[in-house]
């Protein structure tokens, strides 16, 4: 439920979730491939949220939160597609919901032990209420949505391909060790996380894949990285908190620094420093600045913006409806928003990360070459 003043989740008896069941002639192996493919390949597998209700007498508009589509690949497998609104949950909360649902399905509905051990937490009082932050978010979302239509969506998809890349656990270890050696006796308080080094490798590879004649070496690249704050609040939120608890950082680095020999270390140091600054400033105060309308206007001025979302903590490949773990999980919204998603690696290798992104065919080829070149540095 959304009004001019605030948003809230509202349920009435008889409310339901839209469910579509379909069959497809798409090749299952093609859909789960990591290789570049047309971004629109997956779109027929996605549901569409029902339209919003008309405003009531008090000016409130009701919007469905979730739609589900189950598509059968005859003699091959199935795909479960979701569309949900982030106003209700972030990635961690939504994945907890899906795992709860999956555990009930796997038991045939007779075993609720997983849900009993890990019940969702809906207590919004655990986060100090910040009206200014809520108002900023609503204004930012409303401003963005006002420019969003089908023509915009089609233009964003034109000539794009999406692909998936992986960084195995051994590479993560070597990147951490390389960064520790580079920092030497610096006062970095904690070792770099897997997410930090993976983000640094991604940002460096993207910058190096851009043609220098189109982007000058003194140009500032801007990477927006969303950060999970549940474990950073004081006191910490329960791991099963059902809602949104995200903030973000802006990573601004000169192109000449990222294409140099120390580009990876520079990117990792900036990312880690920005996260520490966010924590020192106070997460809610930092979020107010990050999500403010003026803040986003400043971000948009930077150019060459790419957002990094998702997390290996989501554990998307641990979900089991009773048919085994997923062969592939992909957030399709990256096709539109110019973002990259991170997740745990499907091969369950400890510490591994996979990520996916959508670019033009030429940009994807250049990125793949730059990424492999960077990764080889940590293979010897």
Q: Which residues are catalytic?
A: 86, 320
DSSP secondary structure string for all residues of 292-328: SHHHHHHHHHH-SEEEEEE-GGG-GGG--SSS-S-S-
Gyration radius from the chain CA atoms? 21
**What does the angle CA 80 – CA 86 – CA 91 come to, to the nearest 5 degrees?**
60
C-alpha 55/C-alpha 82 separation (Å) is 26
CB neighbourhood size of 65 (10 A): 18
- Sign, CA torsion 28/33/38/39: positive
C-beta separation of 374 from 208 below 8 A: yes
CA 52 to chain centre: 25
Q: CA triplet 324, 39, 80: central angle to 5 degrees?
A: 30
SS3 content of the chain, % helix, strand, coil (to 5): 40, 20, 40
Strand segments (E) across the chain: 18-23, 37-38, 66-73, 77-84, 160-167, 220-228, 246-254, 305-310, 339-344, 353-360
Torsional sign, CA 200, 202, 207, 208: positive
CA 191/CA 179 separation, integer angstroms: 9
């Amino acid at each position: 439920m959304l009004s001019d003043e605030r948003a809230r989740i509202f349920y009435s008896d008889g409310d339901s979730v839209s469910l579509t069941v379909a069959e497809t002639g798409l090749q299952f192996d093609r859909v789960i491939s990591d290789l570049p493919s047309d971004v629109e390949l997956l779109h027929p597998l996605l549901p569409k949220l029902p339209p919003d209700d008309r405003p009531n007498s008090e000016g409130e508009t009701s919007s469905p939160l979730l739609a589900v589509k189950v598509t059968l690949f005859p003699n091959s497998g199935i795909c479960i597609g979701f569309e949900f609104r982030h106003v209700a949950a972030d990635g961690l909360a939504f994945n907890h919901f899906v795992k709860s649902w999956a555990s009930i399905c796997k038991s045939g509905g007779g075993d609720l032990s997983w849900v009993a051990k890990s019940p969702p937490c809906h207590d919004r009082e655990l986060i100090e209420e910040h009206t200014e932050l809520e108002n900023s978010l609503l204004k930012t979302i409303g401003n963005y949505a006002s420019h969003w239509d089908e023509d915009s969506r089609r233009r964003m998809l034109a000539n794009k391909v999406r692909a998936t890349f992986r960084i195995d656990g051994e590479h993560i270890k070597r990147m951490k060790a390389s960064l520790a050696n580079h920092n030497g006796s610096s006062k970095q308080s904690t070792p770099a996380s897997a997410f930090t080094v993976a983000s640094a490798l991604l940002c460096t590879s993207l910058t190096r894949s851009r043609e220098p004649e189109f982007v000058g070496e003194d140009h500032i690249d801007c990477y927006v990285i969303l950060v999970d704050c549940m474990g950073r609040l004081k006191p910490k939120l329960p791991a099963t908190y059902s809602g949104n608890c995200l903030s973000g950082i802006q990573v601004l680095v000169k192109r000449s620094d990222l294409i140099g020999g120390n580009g990876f270390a520079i990117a990792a140091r900036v990312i880690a420093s920005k996260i520490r600054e966010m924590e020192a400033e106070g997460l809610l105060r930092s979020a107010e600045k990050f999500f403010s309308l003026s803040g986003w206007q400043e971000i948009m001025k930077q150019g060459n913006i790419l957002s990094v979302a998702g997390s290996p903590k989501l554990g998307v490949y641990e979900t089991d409806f009773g048919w085994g773990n997923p062969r592939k999980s992909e957030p399709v919204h990256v096709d539109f928003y110019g973002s990259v998603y991170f997740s745990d690696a499907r091969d369950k290798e400890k510490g591994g990360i996979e990520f996916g992104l959508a670019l033009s065919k030429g940009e994807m080829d250049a990125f793949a070459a730059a990424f492999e070149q960077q990764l080889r540095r940590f293979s010897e």
